[in-house]
Amino acid sequence: MRRALPDPTTNSSARNNELNRLLAACTLKDRQALASLYQLTSANLYGVILRILIREDWAQECLQEAYIKIWQRADSYRPEKAAPITWMMTIARNQALDLLRRQRKEVGLDSIPEQQQRIDQAPLPLEQMLKQDESQALAECLKGLNEQSRQTIAMAYLRGLTHEQMAEQLNTPLGTIKTWIRRGLQQLKRCLES
């Protein structure tokens, strides 16, 4: 009998528990667990990827590659370090940035139409999730960050910018950007654990 998955709009702790269970099953190479994990999280991951890559064909390819990495690296997930969706979104984001770098080298940035080079300002699925009840704790913790940390975390995780792009846009040294993000993530972790 197939186990019913919890409604993702309900309790975030129940969803995290289910995602943790599915990731643990993936370490045992349970293909049904991967299918369930995909069903529960693919919309969120696709939104992050599409925001970075813009092109749907690249985003679809990248989503598949991200789930392959999630499958292969499930045993490296540590629940005490990050929520399962955060860990998976980080893999998806990094996969998208890697693909974008490869594609830009192959295609050349000059050959990409200007309208595709612009960053889309429409809300990401992750930004929409912040408005839901399950994300209220995260939203409250984000409010507690200093402006620099909050801005750089938003630029990295909600807009998909690299550290280098943020340093250029904010006219700030790369090391400072990395420090703001690291300190902000540490503060978020402490806030969410309390």
Average pLDDT, the chain: 79
Handedness of CA 28, 30, 36, 40 (dihedral sign): positive
Task: Indicate whether 65 and 138 sit together in one domain.
Answer: no
Look at phi and psi of residue 171 and say left if phi exceeds 0, alpha if psi is from -120 to 50, else beta.
left
Domain end: 95, 125, 155, which one? 125
Above 80 in pLDDT, residue 158? no
The whole-number pLDDT of residue 147 equals 87
Task: Indicate whether 70 and 107 sit together in one domain.
Answer: yes
Domain end: 125, 145, 165, which one? 125
Task: Indicate whether 89 and 9 sit together in one domain.
Answer: yes
Tell me, what CATH number does 170's domain have? 1.10.10.10
**Band of residue 184 on the pLDDT scale cut at 50, 70, 90:** confident
Above 50 in pLDDT, residue 9? no
Task: Indicate whether 102 and 179 sit together in one domain.
Answer: no
Task: Indicate whether 140 and 112 sit together in one domain.
Answer: no
Task: Indicate whether 116 and 35 sit together in one domain.
Answer: yes
pLDDT for 97-155, tens place per residue? Answer: 888 888 776 655 454 555 444 555 555 555 555 445 446 677 778 888 888 888 888 88
How many domains, the chain? 2
Q: What is the DSSP letter of 54?
A: -
Q: What is the DSSP letter of 109?
A: G
Angle of helix 56-73 relative to helix 12-27, nearest 10 degrees, comes to 70
Task: Indicate whether 41 and 67 sit together in one domain.
Answer: yes
pLDDT above 90 covers what percent of the chain? 29
Domain end: 75, 91, 125, which one? 125
The whole-number pLDDT of residue 188 equals 81
Task: Indicate whether 107 and 145 sit together in one domain.
Answer: no
The whole-number pLDDT of residue 3 equals 42
d(CA 127, CA 14): 21
Tell me, what CATH number does 67's domain have? 1.10.1740.10
- Report whether 9 contacts 43 (CB < 8 A): no
Above 50 in pLDDT, residue 61? yes
Task: Indicate whether 106 and 137 sit together in one domain.
Answer: no
Task: Indicate whether 56 and 7 sit together in one domain.
Answer: yes
The encoded tokens of residue 72 equal 């292969």
Task: Indicate whether 72 and 102 sit together in one domain.
Answer: yes
Nearest to 48, CA basis, from 169, 144, 154, 174: 154
The encoded tokens of residue 136 equal 């209220």
Task: Indicate whether 118 and 144 sit together in one domain.
Answer: no
The encoded tokens of residue 117 equal 């080079």
Question: Could you list the residue range(s) of the whole structural domain that residue 144 is in?
Answer: 130-194
d(CA 100, CA 113): 15
Q: Write down how long the chain is.
A: 194
What is the distance between the terminal CA atoms of the chain, rounded to a whole angstrom? 37
d(CA 167, CA 169): 6
Note the pTM of the prediction, 2 decimals: 0.55
